[in-house]
Amino acid sequence: MMEGPLNLVITGVGGQGNVVASHIFASAASKDGFNVSVGETYGASQRGGAVMSHVRLSEKTQYGPLIPRGQAHIMLGFEPIECLRAVTGFGNRKTRVIVNPRPIYPIDVLSGVSKYPPIEDVLEAIKKLVSSVHVVEATELAKEAGNPIMQNIVLVGCLAGTEFTPVKIETLKEVIEETFAEKHPRANLKAFELGVEQIRRIKPI
Amino acid sequence: MSYIGIDEPGKRMLLMGNEAIARGALEAGVHFCSGYPGNPASEILTTLSDVAKEFDSYVEWSVNEIVALEAAGAAAISGLRALTAMKNLGADVCADFLMTANLSGTKGGFVLVTGDDPSAHSTTSELDTRNYARFAGIPLLEPATTQEAKDMTNWAFDLSEELEVICMIRTVTRLSHSRGVVTLGPIKPEKRSANFGFQDMWTSGSSRITCMLHSILHEKLKKAQAKFEESKFNWYVGKDDADFIIVTSGTGWLYSLEAVKLLELEEDVGILKLGTTWPLPEKLIASHLRHAKEVLFVEETDPFLEQNVKVLAADLAIEGFGPIRFYGKKSNSIRGEFGAGTGELDVDIVIQALTEIKELTYVPTEKEYISKAQELLSSIVPSRTMSFCAGCPHRASLWAIKKALKWDGRDGIVTGDIGCYSLAMLPTGFSVARTLQCMGAGIGTANGFGNLRRFGLNKPVVALTGDSTFYHACIPALINARWNGANLLLVVLDNNTTAMTGHQPHPGSGVNALGQSSSKVLIENICKGIGVEVQVCDPFNLDEAVQNLYEMLQTDGTKVMIFRHACPLAFPQEKKVRVYVDQDKCIGEECGCAKFCTRVFGCPGNIWDYEEGKAKIDETICNGCGFCAELCPEEAIIIEEVA
């Protein structure tokens, strides 16, 4: 399928379920027979800091857990400014982005030290740097599925609903069922499916 | 059957580096495991404790790293296989014992795993623990992949047992917290009886005995070296006579491989990957130095391979080796944002070194793209500094300290310590703390600040600690303060768990690593035993907390205030509440010199509605602690119980 690795960046804020999302995607890829490396930056994950996961799929060669700068093929943004921040480091003109436009305000913004830019400006800035941007109101869809916290699963669903990765939808569903076997498997599957449907319905900006 | 203990040799599983280390220990039939939580190593023990029952093994979270290593040492000298895991700075804590245990030897396999944190993602130092292996004269293994993390851990037990010496495995954040596909091996649990008999001695002795044991240790290292020459964890890729070679270990291996591939240098550059890095497999290295004119070292943090291989090269010069030009940290070739020998490695750093040395051009992203990205980044993206979680009791405790010190008015000094509450140095902790060093240094340094009145420093001194840190490193310093009359108020932020590292239990939790209940070692009882005044208070009872703190600061002596409130992430509150802002009562921008609640309190759940110009609660973040309701001067924040 591919010569080099397929590089996916998942980015957000501590507490948004970055690690769960990367783990689900990577486990499914591994089940589908790919070689997978995942690098996580979550030293501050529960403390409101920016978090980022690097997921790398390859057919034979094993790659290291960090994607070189400018080499992300796909970017899954759980939070708009964190998505833009990651794009400036790891994006390129061909990168495809799926982003939840719902902001999580840094305390620097809450305390008035800095300002949170208008969301349209952030999305516009991301668009200037990459090939396509799908904006998905993932938190709203997650509420529909039962809990806003599942926006991470909605976005994994979005990724699955595109042609961007070779990982099978059915495998992802299996992994989601296993992962949440004791904790709302149905709601999480619903969140996933809502993501799949939504991405197929909307057009990128 | 747990997923990590699955007995299907050949099965491929996606494992985290730390899980792979745990799996390696299980495959080796480990009997006794100990450690103290610390990132990036915490999940090794967590994984092992989860399957302790299944494997009939013993796992403990020890009170600190030296006790952990000592306890494991006793198991090992009794013939069992023992593993101790800790973060890099834990190696400092157990170093005292390590420097005699190396000489004293072992019977059963004895493995020390240290997790280094290049870039200090969650540490106050980039300490490279490989130096301890050389310092203590013990064999060192450095896994490069999750597969090797498992395989090396397994092998380290055999090596240790055969040589009768403790062996060290150095992992780093990028391995411990990465995931990769691992092919499982067979699990070989071996029932063993612990035995420490009438004639057994376990010591490094003194005088002539110590020197003799030191000499024996050197002999063991020579044996280790002979094994390392043949080790499957060392290999070379590239042309047999390459002029240019990379010598690398750990994470550097895959980064080097990718950099060479991206630059299409496979024909020119050979890579010597070393997994056994102390003592060095000198013959193997010499066989590649023979054909090299230039050598680049790619390794995390210190120039460890770089310096040791250079010493070897000096020895080899007489045999006609060289001259070789060396590149690495000293030449400033391998350098990150803060220069050589700082920060973690990545592929780009290796690419940068290779392109500079070989005068190549590699353009990962065009200049215009970078400048456009930089412009967008700096013009609109605000920074995101760390903050306490919504509902965190530390926010309330630090608010109380800030207020009590303000009432006191003498510019009190607050010394910080290691844990989530290290954020007391940052705006989220109202910047109350002014020092932050190592575990226990809050009260340790407060002993000094609290005894400087005779030199003109007459300020109240407040030392911070967490509950787990209190047990780990504060008790001798508290005794010292009482004994030597230091004027200090120790504030223990007791949230009933080791929160920073993933909620491991501690002596005050009432439960141990095996999940067995264990009567609580109460902090207040320890304090009473030492003979210092101690009070306990819930920081969410703000008025009481501030008043008591203030009063304690008004008289001399060593005192302890325990702010006790469980971490809401580890112990979610049962009562479901909804917190919201009564839009009629909120006076918006006018409040407390512009948005009192969001500006000053800094809870991520307490946000601002820019359209309405009023405060708002983000229900996806709010955890319902209700502290903001207590602070709101207009009583506009409402807590409502929901069914």
The tens digit of pLDDT for each residue in B465-496 reads 999 999 999 999 999 999 999 999 999 999 99
Residues 6+ positions from B128 with CB-CB distance below 8 Å: B88, B116, B300, B301, B302, B304
DSSP code per residue over B96-128: HHHHHHHHH--SS-EEEEEEE-TT-TTSS----
For residues B602 and B560, membership in a common domain is answered with no
Domain that holds residue B532: 393-564
Q: Which residue of B has its CA nearest to A150?
A: B620
Q: For residue A138, is it within any domain?
A: yes
Strand, coil or helix: B429: helix
Which residue among B121, B254, B386 sits closest to A41, beta carbon to beta carbon? B121
Residues of chain B contacting residue A49, judged by C-beta atoms under 8 Å apart: 384-386
pLDDT at residue number B360: 95
Mean pLDDT across the stretch A78-84?
97
For residues B315 and B336, membership in a common domain is answered with yes
Per DSSP, what are the bridge partners of residue A51? Answer: A12
Q: Which residue of A has its CA nearest to B42?
A: A43
Handedness of CA B301, B303, B309, B312 (dihedral sign): negative
For residues B267 and B347, membership in a common domain is answered with yes
Which residue among A36, A49, A63 sits closest to B384, beta carbon to beta carbon? A49
Residues lower than pLDDT 70 in chain B = none
Mean pLDDT across the stretch A41-65?
83
Last residue of a domain, one of B195, B229, B263: B229
Q: For residue B385, is it within any domain?
A: no
Place of tokens 């509950």: B467
Q: For residue A120, is it within any domain?
A: yes
B 250-279: CB under 8 A from A:
251, 254-255, 257-258, 262
Contact A138, A100 (CB under 8 A): yes
The CATH number of the domain holding residue A39 is 3.40.920.10
Distance from CA of B275 to the nearest CA of A (A): 16
For residues B224 and B77, membership in a common domain is answered with yes
Q: For residue A90, is it within any domain?
A: yes
Residues of chain B contacting residue A85, judged by C-beta atoms under 8 Å apart: 377, 381
Cβ distance of A48 and B428 shorter than 8 Å: yes
Per DSSP, what are the bridge partners of residue B639? Answer: B579
Number of domains in chain A: 1
- Using 50, 70 and 90 to split pLDDT, how confident is the model at A4? confident
Residues of chain B contacting residue A38, judged by C-beta atoms under 8 Å apart: 14, 178-180
B 550-589: CB under 8 A from A:
569
For residues B188 and B69, membership in a common domain is answered with yes
The encoded tokens of residue B418 equal 């290691």
pLDDT at residue number B479: 98
Q: Which residue of A has its CA nearest to B607?
A: A110
pLDDT at residue number B394: 97
For residues B167 and B48, membership in a common domain is answered with yes
Cβ distance of B389 and A105 shorter than 8 Å: no
pLDDT at residue number B468: 98
The encoded tokens of residue B228 equal 């390392």
For residues B545 and B597, membership in a common domain is answered with no
Helix (H) or strand (E) holding A14: none
Strand, coil or helix: A128: helix
For residues B122 and B183, membership in a common domain is answered with yes
Number of domains in chain B: 4
The number of residues making up chain A comes to 205
Which residue among A39, A68, A125 sits closest to B178, beta carbon to beta carbon? A39
Residues 6+ positions from B574 with CB-CB distance below 8 Å: none
pLDDT at residue number B611: 85
Residue B511 DSSP class? B
The CATH number of the domain holding residue B303 is 3.40.50.920
Interface A–B counts its CB contacts (< 8 A) at 185
Which residue among A64, A68, A107 sits closest to B428, beta carbon to beta carbon? A107
Place of tokens 């997994």: B275
Please check whether residue B639 touches A, CB under 8 A. Answer: no
The encoded tokens of residue A125 equal 């800035």
pLDDT at residue number A2: 58
What percent of chain A stands above pLDDT 70? Answer: 96
Q: For residue A1, is it within any domain?
A: no
Q: For residue B22, is it within any domain?
A: yes
A 59-118: CB under 8 A from B:
62-66, 68-71, 81-82, 84-85, 87-89, 91-93, 104-117
Cβ distance of A68 and B364 shorter than 8 Å: yes
Q: For residue A188, is it within any domain?
A: yes
Residues 6+ positions from B579 with CB-CB distance below 8 Å: B605, B617, B622, B624, B626, B628, B629, B637, B638, B639, B640
Cβ distance of B180 and A36 shorter than 8 Å: yes
Please check whether residue B6 touches A, CB under 8 A. Answer: no
pLDDT at residue number A46: 57
pLDDT at residue number A111: 84
Alpha-helical (H) ranges within A52-184 are: 80-90, 107-110, 119-129, 138-145, 151-161, 169-179
Which residue among B117, B376, B598 sits closest to A125, beta carbon to beta carbon? B376
- The HSE-up count of residue A9 (CA atoms within 13 Å, CB side) is 32
For residues B198 and B255, membership in a common domain is answered with no
Residues of chain B contacting residue A179, judged by C-beta atoms under 8 Å apart: none
Q: For residue B42, is it within any domain?
A: yes
For residues B285 and B346, membership in a common domain is answered with yes
For residues B224 and B239, membership in a common domain is answered with no
pLDDT at A44 over 60: no
For residues B87 and B33, membership in a common domain is answered with yes
Closest CA to B552 of B539, B565, B526, B533: B533
Could you give the CA distance from residue B385 to residue B383 in angstroms, rounded to a whole number? 6
Residues of chain A contacting residue B374, judged by C-beta atoms under 8 Å apart: 88
Cβ distance of A82 and B384 shorter than 8 Å: yes
Please check whether residue B39 touches A, CB under 8 A. Answer: yes
Mean pLDDT of the residues in chain A: 93
Last residue of a domain, one of B178, B202, B229: B229
Please check whether residue B329 touches A, CB under 8 A. Answer: no
Domain that holds residue A91: 6-201
